[in-house]
Structure formats: structure tokens, C-alpha cells
Amino acid sequence: MLKLGTKAQTLEVLKNHFEVPSFIKFTVLEFNHNKKKFLKEIKKIPGKIIIRSSSTKEDTSNDSNAGKYISEVLKNKSNKEILNLIQKIISDYKKKDKFFLKNEIIAQKYLKSISISGVILTYDIANNSPYYVINYNDVSKSSNNVTSGQGIHSNKKIYISRMGVKNLKSTRFKSVLKTIRKIEILFNNNHLDIEFIVKKNFKVVILQVRAISNRLIDSNFTIGDNIEKRILMGQIKFSSLIKNNILGQMPDWNPAEIIGENPEILSFSLYKKLVTDQHWFQARKEMGYLNFPGNKKLMYNVLGKPYINVKKSFNSFFPKNLSKNIRNKLLKIWNLKLKNNLNLHDKIEFDVAITCFDFDLKNRLKQKEYSSLTIKEKKEIIEKYKKFSFDLILNVDFDKYLKRLDRLNKNSYFKKNDFNKQILNIANNGIVPFAILARHAFIGQSLLKSLEKKKIITKSQNTNFQLSYETITKSFLKDMRNVKLEKLSKKEFMNKYGHLRAGTYNIKSPRYDQMKNFEFIGTKTVNKKFNINNKILTNLDNLILKENLKNINSFQIFEYIKKSCELREYSKFIFTKQLSQLLENIKKHLKIKKIPLSDMPHLSINDLNKNKKNIKNIVKKNKNIYSLNRRIKLPQVLYEKSNFFVVPYQINEPNFVSKKTIIRNLEIFKNDNKNQYLKNKIVVIENADPGYDWIFSKKISGLITKFGGANSHMTIRCAELNLPAMIGCGPKIYNEICNSKKIELNCKSKTYNIIL
């Protein structure tokens, strides 16, 4: 067994066992005594050269101090350039170490034209979990760019369970892990931080090995075994489900955005019972979508993470009279498209599946992915979706759903611990009408997008039309301003909006009316009146005539789009009021049993009426499971068995809102801290639901979220306010942005650039 030393000492050991770029090393004292000798030796190193620090304070068992010392590539091999860079390193040593003369300097061959460069942690220090964590760059082909590359495809990350290395398919990463495991054995240490390069012939070159600081390692080593057992259990349980199917955290009802990537059991069980067990499907069935056979459970708990069954979602979007043969063909087409374009996992309703008719459907069916369909089948798809969609548009009775929402409030006074009745009331009179209105709004938005594609309206006209909607967000901001101007009392405001909470399904999150320092800020809302000109109406009427649509005109279509979008937001606001009250009832019920608030999220909705002793045992068990599940890495999309062990950070295609370009400082949002200064900042937040709408009163300049789709709450909110936003950027971009201070957000070109 060998020991790790300084960077230079470790490289001396490694070069006898692995490929290491040629190098020379010397102490500051040695260099000062014989500069000519070392300048001559440095120049002998072939090709480009990198000069690297090797401090005695780097790579110790207590601190790695990675990145705190200088490493730079020489611009040329002149004496002046070499001396300047070495002197720069020595000056840096002087500031940090009084014994700096003992510190070493390395001059090493700089490699280029490589396959990938990267850094691997042999243990996940962020979660104290048994994973190999590889940050790599396979874009720039440069050995020093793994920590500096920018752009959506650079600096990728992959997690590999230590027990799941055999699931690797990539030849490059197989070579890397084979070498890494030899290094672990050589030093008898599986807590290492290793810089590596993979050449084009898959040969692995080692640049550096250091120990992960002892302070970062969890002393409870049994956790690793428990995590690996759970991963294996999850793979066995869900293997049959993901065969010829896909599970995703953001399709359809996008649970990762609403209840979080790792929700506690109460949030999960509530969302499941209220929405995804059956009521999501009940809404679509009422609208006339296909009543497919089998159970209707849409969401699964996969090792503590919520996943949507994409096959069921796809099936639920078929008109009930579409032929079975065409349905089967479409399922194969959509499944394959999503597998080949995982970045579309939060956009399946717009960019993968066909869920309704729009005026561009004929062009969409001409795309290569639909080449397996015959002309006759394409014609049937167009006609069936057209009839289905316009039957819905012509026959929708918005008042009927408003009456159901009224019943929701009237039926809210059940016996306080009869939670099942309260849930059924919220589901039948709140969730179902909301889901129906949301589906109508989606149809409306699809029609609007297609009118832009058909050049009936321009992009700016589309934006201005959406800004003319009278939504609950605008009412909320207007009422906040009225409180500030003393035109509305705080009591009146809270009677209307006090039920909102940041985390609609989170029992620990305080309601607005429970916050002592709720801040009222006067923010003007954008109230644009949009007059649809005769040219737009005439062109749309001609399109309606061309599509042979009966009993409808252009004005009715625009009215339908506007009304459905406004009512979607209103219905969401109404059902969350009763949901918020349900959480308060649960809280009171458990307080009587002397269950602390911190324990409440760890009980499922079915555990609430058990006795105190049982509840305490359940809480203890669920807390342990929750702690383990949070340490387990899974991709946002599951489609094969190896996904449980080999977890790439899938690249998301963010949803950009507005056509604006802004350069602003970033503010990482901290829970629901209302005292955070957000004015003129681009606010960065993991996920946000209606309870976070107060953010818009803070005069923010832009918004970035980790989770969220093209039709998600915050996408809609930002569109209503014409606020620059990047919604659902995914883990890779989100983490990159969280480590930055200032960015340019260019929503028109759908790009971002880190400035600072």
C-alpha cells in the first residue's frame, strides 16, 4: 500500500503504475539556487507546458485546498515567460505559507487533442453517498477546461453507483473506472479526488490524485450499504414498468415542480390521492378522451422521487374514436422521439405527443418521425383530432365548472378529522374542474402557437394578446399595491389571498396570513388592451373556411383562448384555498396528539388517525427512509434498468419567456425568506408554485427555475407579466448558475451567458 503525498510526490508514485504526462519537479529553494538548470530542463519538455503548484498545504487528509493555488499554461517557452509564471506561483506561496521555500513547483507536458478531460470524486461528498461523481468536458478537447467550460454541452456530470459500474456502456468511462479502481487499491483509499484525461484511443492519463478531506466524509459507513440495497430493490421493483415505457419527473402533471424532486411522504401522498391516482384521468374522461383499460395511477414513488408513467399520459391524449392501429403507431413514434430527445421530457404535450388539433398539425405530420404513417392514417388523425377539439371548443360550458368550484367552498365544513371527505371534495369540485379548464387552456395555447406559425399573428401580437388576459396574478399584484396605497385593508387582502403558501402541498410552509412580517410592495401590473384588427380576423376566418370548420368564427376562437387561460388560473387559485385549509386541519389534528410540526411531513394521509405510539414509530421509520432516499441519485427520465446505477445529468432545453435581453446580478432564493432583497435581480429558485407569486411584487428583473415545463405555473406567470425567464433549466445549468453572480439572459435567442 502506497501513501499519498504532495501533488508532485503523488505524481512520482503514479508514473510507475499509470500513464502520467512527462514532468519535472523542484522546490522553491532549489529553483532559487539554480534557475538556469531548471529553465533548461523545462524547455526540454516537448510541446506546450503547464506550470503547476505543489504546496505542502495542498492535498492533505484534512484539507485538499483544491483550486486555491496556481496552475497555468505557458504562452511560450521564453525564459521571461517561464520566470514570470514561476515567480507568480512563488509570490502566491509567500502569502499563504511562511515555510514556502519547501513548497514544490511542477512543469508538465500539456496534453491536447483528447477525447475527454475530467475530475472524478470516488465518493459523493455533497450527500455522503457511495457514488463515483465524474465532471467531464468532451467539447473543448482541452485538458484544463473541465472547470471553466461554458455552454449547454460542456462540463457534463455523471453519477455511477459504486456497486453499478458493470452497468456502464461507454467504452471511455469503462476505461476511466478501471483505472480509478486500480488507484483506489494502490492507495487503499476509496475517498479520492482524481483529475484525468482520456485519449482518442481510450487510454487513460492521470494528472493528479488527492485525498478527499476527512472533514467531508461521513463517519457512518453503513449508510453506503443501505443506499446500495435500496437502489437494487428499486431496480428490481420497477424494471418491468420501464420495459418499453418511460417514467419522468416532469411530463404531464410535472410533480417535481409541484411537490419537489424529493418530496416528504405527506406531500407525495396528498398529491397522489388528490390528483394522480384517478382524478387526473376522470377530468380527461369527462372531456371525451380515450378511456383506456387498466388502473389509472399516473405517478409512482421510485426511491422517494415522483415519476409519471409516460405511456398512460400518452394514452390519455387520444380522442376515444381514434383507431387502435393508429394509436399503437403513435405510441411507438412518441416513445422513440422522447428516448432520442430526453431534453423534451418537460415538453411532451407541445413537442412530442399530439394532444389536440391546431392549424399546423398537417405540417407536423410531414416530419420524418411520422413517416411510418400512411396518407390515409394521417388524414384520420387530422380529422379525428379536429372534430374532437372543436366539439370541445363549441360545447364548453365554463359556467358549469365555475358552479363546481362554488360547491367546493360550500362543502368545506366536514368533521375536521374526516380527511377522506375533504380530499374527495377538493378532488371532485376543485382538481377535476381545474384539470378540465387547464386542458381547455392548453388547447387554446396550442391554437395560438399555430396561428403564429401560420403567420396569422406576429410574435409581438401573440405576446400582447396574452398580456391582455385578466388573471389572478394581476389581481394579486394590484391588490398588494392598493394595500400599500391604503385603498384596501390588510384584512381584506388576507381574506382573499391569505391561504397561499410557498409550497402548496407543504404543511411546514406558513400561509401568507400566518406571516408576521408580510411585506406589501406597490408594483404596477402590465395592463395592455389588445384589439384584434380586421386583418387578423379575416385571415383566421379564411383559415377556418379552408379547414372546413363549421359554426365557429375567428372572434370566438380568440375569446375561447382568453377565457380558458383566465379560468385555468382562477380555478387553481380556488382549489388551493381548500387544500390549504385541509393542511391546517391536519396540523390541528396532529397537534392535539402532540406531534411536532417537524414530524408531520413524514406521515402519509392514511396514517393521520392512528394512535400516537404508532404515529411516532411511523415517523421514525419514514425519516430514515427519507434520509436515505435523498442520497440516492436518479435521472429525471427512467427508461432502462441501468438508469438506476448510471445517472447522467440530462441536458434540459429551458423554456424561455418573453423576447427580452437583460444583464443582471443573480439572487439565489432562500426558502420563503421575504426579507431577501430581490429588486432588479434575476431570481434563481428550484421550483415555484402559486404560493411564490409574491416574488413578482418585489420588482424582480427575471426568473430562473430548475424545474418547470412549457405549460407550467411559472412559465404562465412570467408570460402574463412579460417577465424575462428561463424556466426548467435542469440540474446541470441550475448548478452552474448557482455558482455565478451575474448573467446575460437573452430570451429572444434562447441563450444565457455567465458574466461573473
Split at pLDDT 50, 70, 90, the class of 673 is: low
Cβ atoms 400, 382 nearer than 8 A: no
Residues 324-339: what's their mean pLDDT? 95
With a CB cutoff of 8 Å and minimum separation 6, the contacts of 290 are 315, 316, 317, 318, 319, 320, 322, 327
Q: Is 211 helix (H, G, I), strand (E, B) or coil?
A: strand
Amino acid sitting at position 25: K
- Give the DSSP H/E element, type plus range, for residue 27: strand 23-27
pLDDT tens digits, 178-237? 999 999 999 998 889 999 999 888 899 998 898 886 555 555 544 556 888 889 899 999
Residue 613, number of CB atoms within 10 A of its CB: 8
pLDDT tens digits, 681-690? 889 988 887 7
Residues 307-316: what's their mean pLDDT? 96
Residues 21-42: what's their mean pLDDT? 88
Is a pLDDT exceeding 50 seen at residue 427?
yes
Cβ atoms 731, 346 nearer than 8 A: no
Query: Residue 225 corresponds to which cell in the numbers above?
Result: 450499504
Give residue 82's pLDDT.
87
pLDDT tens digits, 129-185? 889 999 887 755 555 544 344 444 446 788 999 888 888 888 888 999 999 999 999
| pTM for this predicted structure | 0.84
HSE-CB at 81 with a 13 A cutoff on CA atoms is: 14
The C-alpha cell 430548475 sits at 706
Give residue 368's pLDDT.
93
Spell out the domain ranges in the chain.
Answer: 1-16+112-219, 22-110, 648-754
With a CB cutoff of 8 Å and minimum separation 6, the contacts of 212 are 64, 121, 122, 123, 125, 191, 192, 193
pLDDT tens digits, 240-249? 888 889 999 9
Give residue 221's pLDDT.
46
CA distance 616 to 304: 20
The residues with which 727 forms a beta bridge, in sequence order, are 655
Is a pLDDT exceeding 50 seen at residue 520?
yes
CA distance 477 to 694: 8
Give residue 403's pLDDT.
93
Is a pLDDT exceeding 90 seen at residue 125?
no
Share of the chain above pLDDT 90, in %: 43
Give residue 65's pLDDT.
45
CA distance 188 to 165: 19
With a CB cutoff of 8 Å and minimum separation 6, the contacts of 145 are 117, 137, 154
Quote the crossing angle between the two packed helices 459-467 and 554-592, to the nearest 10°: 50
Is a pLDDT exceeding 50 seen at residue 481?
yes
Residues 28-48: what's their mean pLDDT? 88
- Nearest-CA neighbor of 520 among 489, 546, 558, 499? 489
Give residue 69's pLDDT.
61
Cβ atoms 669, 691 nearer than 8 A: no
- Nearest-CA neighbor of 180 among 226, 113, 118? 118
- Please compute Rg for the chain using Cα positions: 29
Give residue 128's pLDDT.
79
CA distance 581 to 54: 61
The 3-class secondary structure across 213-261, one letter per residue, is CHHHCCCCCHHHHHHHHHHHHHHHHHCCCCCCCCEECCCCCCHHHHCCC
Residues 6-14: what's their mean pLDDT? 87
DSSP codes of every residue in 332-362: HHHHHHHHH-GGGTT-IIIIIS--S--TTHH
Is a pLDDT exceeding 90 seen at residue 59?
no
Beta strands in 94-213 (DSSP E): 104-109, 116-121, 131-137, 156-161, 192-198, 204-211
The 3-class secondary structure across 364-388, one letter per residue, is HCCCHHHCCCCHHHHHHHHHHHHHH
Query: Residue 508 corresponds to which cell in the numbers above?
Result: 411546514
Give residue 416's pLDDT.
61
Is a pLDDT exceeding 90 seen at residue 322?
yes
**Complete edge-to-edge strand list for the sheet that includes strand 725-727:** 655-657, 725-727, 702-705, 682-685, 661-668, 742-746, 751-754
**Complete edge-to-edge strand list for the sheet that includes strand 116-121:** 204-211, 192-198, 116-121, 131-137, 156-161, 646-648
Q: Which tops the pLDDT comparison, 751 or 441?
A: 441
Quote the crossing angle between the two packed helices 472-484 and 554-592, to the nearest 10°: 70
Cβ atoms 520, 484 nearer than 8 A: yes
With a CB cutoff of 8 Å and minimum separation 6, the contacts of 624 are none
Is a pLDDT exceeding 60 seen at residue 502?
yes
With a CB cutoff of 8 Å and minimum separation 6, the contacts of 390 are 357, 549, 552
Amino acid sitting at position 288: G
Split at pLDDT 50, 70, 90, the class of 70 is: confident
Split at pLDDT 50, 70, 90, the class of 707 is: confident
- Give the DSSP H/E element, type plus range, for residue 24: strand 23-27
With a CB cutoff of 8 Å and minimum separation 6, the contacts of 19 are 203, 204, 205, 206
Is a pLDDT exceeding 70 seen at residue 671?
no
CATH code of domain 1-16+112-219: 3.30.470.20
The residues with which 684 forms a beta bridge, in sequence order, are 668, 704
433 exposure class (CB count in 10 Å sphere: 0-12, 13-18, 19+): buried
Residues 346-363: what's their mean pLDDT? 93
CA distance 270 to 423: 8
pLDDT tens digits, 439-477? 999 999 999 999 999 999 998 898 889 888 888 888 888
Q: Which among 102-111, 134-143, 545-554, 714-723 has the top mean pLDDT?
A: 545-554
Give residue 522's pLDDT.
63
Rounded mean pLDDT of the chain? 86
pLDDT tens digits, 593-635? 999 999 999 999 999 989 999 999 999 999 999 999 998 999 9
Give residue 568's pLDDT.
93
Domain 22-110: give its CATH architecture: 2-Layer Sandwich (3.30)
pLDDT tens digits, 638-665? 999 999 999 887 666 788 888 888 888 8
CATH code of domain 648-754: 3.50.30.10
Give residue 224's pLDDT.
59
Residues 480-496: what's their mean pLDDT? 90
- Give the DSSP H/E element, type plus range, for residue 309: strand 305-309
Is a pLDDT exceeding 80 seen at residue 273?
yes
Tell me how far apart the terminal alpha carbons of the chain are, to the nearest angstrom.
Answer: 44
Give residue 1's pLDDT.
63
CA distance 279 to 473: 26
550 exposure class (CB count in 10 Å sphere: 0-12, 13-18, 19+): exposed
3-state helix, strand, coil in the chain (%, to 5): 45, 15, 40
Is a pLDDT exceeding 90 seen at residue 701?
no
Task: Note every long-range contact of 236-241, with CB atoms under 8 Å and residues 24 or more positions apart, other chains counting.
Answer: 238/300, 238/302, 238/638, 238/644, 239/641, 241/300, 241/309
Is a pLDDT exceeding 50 seen at residue 700?
yes
Is a pLDDT exceeding 80 seen at residue 387?
yes
Split at pLDDT 50, 70, 90, the class of 62 is: very low
- Nearest-CA neighbor of 209 among 12, 68, 71, 50? 12
Q: Are strands 725-727 and 702-705 parallel, antiparallel or unpaired?
A: parallel
**Complete edge-to-edge strand list for the sheet that includes strand 23-27:** 23-27, 104-109, 49-54, 71-73
Give residue 607's pLDDT.
94
Q: Which tops the pLDDT comparison, 225 or 94?
A: 94
